[in-house]
Structure 1
Amino acid sequence: MRGKLYGVGVGPGDPELLTLKAVRIIQECGALAVPGREKEETVSYKIVCQAVPEAAEKMCLELEMPMTKDKEKLEQSHEAAFAQIRKELDEGRNIAFLTLGDPCIYSTYIYMHQRAAAAGYETEIINGIPSFCAVSAKLNQGLVENSQMLHIIPSTYGIEEGIHLSGTKVLMKPGRKLGQIREELSGLSSCQVSMVENCGMEEEHIYRRAEDIPEQAGYYSLLIVKEQKL
């Protein structure tokens, strides 16, 4: 009997934000999978091991998935990663692929999910708390009210048009474009800009004004741009 692949969202960083269902699935699965060459350096794995200590004793597939926009390299890495997963599924092992936040939102897991489903394997997504919800809670504020719209924008793919959308804008993983983003946001006088770096993790930093945001910040940074009420 072939195994089942689970995409398990582990939340944004705080181990206490793992859902009860995520904990149960991790405990029940025969193997884990993480996007990284060394599991001990993988953020999702470290989060899980704090909340589910026995996870450290499980088999773990370390899947090399480089951060690149090169479609050919991405395809090759995804195929190689799925080959590792497929081998264990064929051995009858259920696998929990650990992913930060929620597996449905800009997650590496979904590429494995699509391949597994297309190949006839059983799959299931276990939702996690999204990073932008955790950041909003950390800032002690809501994201949207009444008829306001919410826009989730991947910052590395260009934000020139996105930041002018009406409502609340969530700018995910700004990375090296943070300086450019600050420039773009400087012209928005009617917006409140906040950023949290490493939300729920040890190196967490909170910035409540656009002018306080540094030129550079860690990969796990997220900005919230809210329209001010007039």
Structure 2
Amino acid sequence: MNSTGSEPRLVGVGVGPGDPELVTVKGVNALRAARVVVVPVMEDAGTGRAEATVLHYVPRSKVVRVVFALNEREDRSRREAAWDAAGERVAELLRAHGTVAFATIGDPNVYSTFTYLAQTVGELVPEAVVETVPGITAMQDLAARGGAVLTEGTEPLTLVPVTAGSAVLRKALEGPGTVVAYKFGRLAGEVAAALRATGRTEGAVWGSSLGLPEESIRPAAELEAEPAAGAGLPYLSTLIAPARRDRRGGKL
């Protein structure tokens, strides 16, 4: 039992892709109702995107920064050790404060660090209740800002993390419907090649830092022109390759 005498509750709150105006009312209420708001940060890094968004709605004194090895993709043991340490820290906060919110960019159930955290916390504090508050995803924001319709009629929508390999992306592009690619900044050259090989470059759009001052939204055709085939693009870049459409309502 914690000091408040209440049941420990961990709430994963999606705070959107970066624009503080895209946090839902329910998300803001959850952040404000929690005794502590945890934000994931990289080791030796400055204010992260989730943290910057949260600070529009709660005082800094309520925010606890917890290190995740978000930039560690090679050393699995180091990455998992960071997840374990973060889970132990959040478990301590739950025992002490009762209700803890964990802020994550996008949605807590879509490629989010929250899923790793919740698993660890569930083992350490089995009596804890785990909830999530959905957030607006990068693909939704890019579709709105870039004028790309995600789906019509019976079209499927495929979401691919390019970190899974360009072959996975290419297979998706060869299929029907709209394809969304996440985390492709360092593999932009391979993404451009897959678009070209499947005839999906036209109409495709990519974006990064959505809702932030450094926001960039451009046609996917410009990926070829990026220095070193996009080597300088942010890791969290997003691509939308819309379905091929030849007439209104053609997929109904």
What's the TM-score once normalised by structure 1's chain length? 0.91
Q: What does the per-residue CA deviation read over 1:170-221, in whole Å, with 9 as the maximum and x for residues that have no partner?
A: 0001021111211221223255211011111111111124235632311231
Q: Which residue of 1 aligns with 2:174?
A: 164
Q: Which residue of 2 aligns with 1:185?
A: 195
1:65 aligns with 2:69: yes
The one-letter amino acid of 2:199's match is S
The one-letter amino acid of 1:95's match is V
| Contact 2:177–2:244 (CA under 8 A) maintained in structure 1 | no
The one-letter amino acid of 1:48's match is V
Q: CA deviation at 1:55?
A: 2.9
Give RMSD over aligned pairs.
Answer: 1.9
Q: CA deviation at 1:114?
A: 1.8
Q: Bigger CA drift: 198-207 or 160-169?
A: 160-169
Q: Bigger CA drift: 202-211 or 16-25?
A: 202-211
Provide the secondary structure at the position in 1 that maps to 2:54. helix
What's the TM-score once normalised by structure 2's chain length? 0.83
Q: Which residue of 2 aligns with 1:224?
A: 240
User: Residue 108 of structure 2 is aligned with which of 103, 109, 120?
Assistant: 103
Q: Which residue of 2 aligns with 1:176?
A: 186
Question: For 1:39 and 1:190, how far apart are their aligned partners in 2?
Answer: 37
Structure 2 unmatched runs, 5+: 3-7, 247-252
| Contact 1:33–1:62 (CA under 8 A) maintained in structure 2 | yes
Larger radius of gyration: 2
Question: For 1:224 and 1:66, how far apart are their aligned partners in 2?
Answer: 24
Question: For 1:46 and 1:59, how far apart are their aligned partners in 2?
Answer: 11
Structure 1: which 4+ aligned runs deviate by more than 6 Å?
Answer: none
The one-letter amino acid of 1:82's match is G
The one-letter amino acid of 1:62's match is V
Structure 1 unmatched runs, 5+: none
Equivalences for residues 20-39 of structure 1 within 5 A: 20-36=25-41, 37=43
Question: For 1:38 and 1:17, how far apart are their aligned partners in 2?
Answer: 28
1:91 aligns with 2:96: yes
Q: Which residue of 2 aligns with 1:113?
A: 118
Q: Bigger CA drift: 66-75 or 165-174?
A: 66-75
1:210 aligns with 2:221: yes
Provide the secondary structure at the position in 2 that maps to 1:95. strand
| Contact 1:61–1:85 (CA under 8 A) maintained in structure 2 | no
Equivalent pairs counted in the alignment come to: 228
Q: CA deviation at 1:41?
A: 1.6
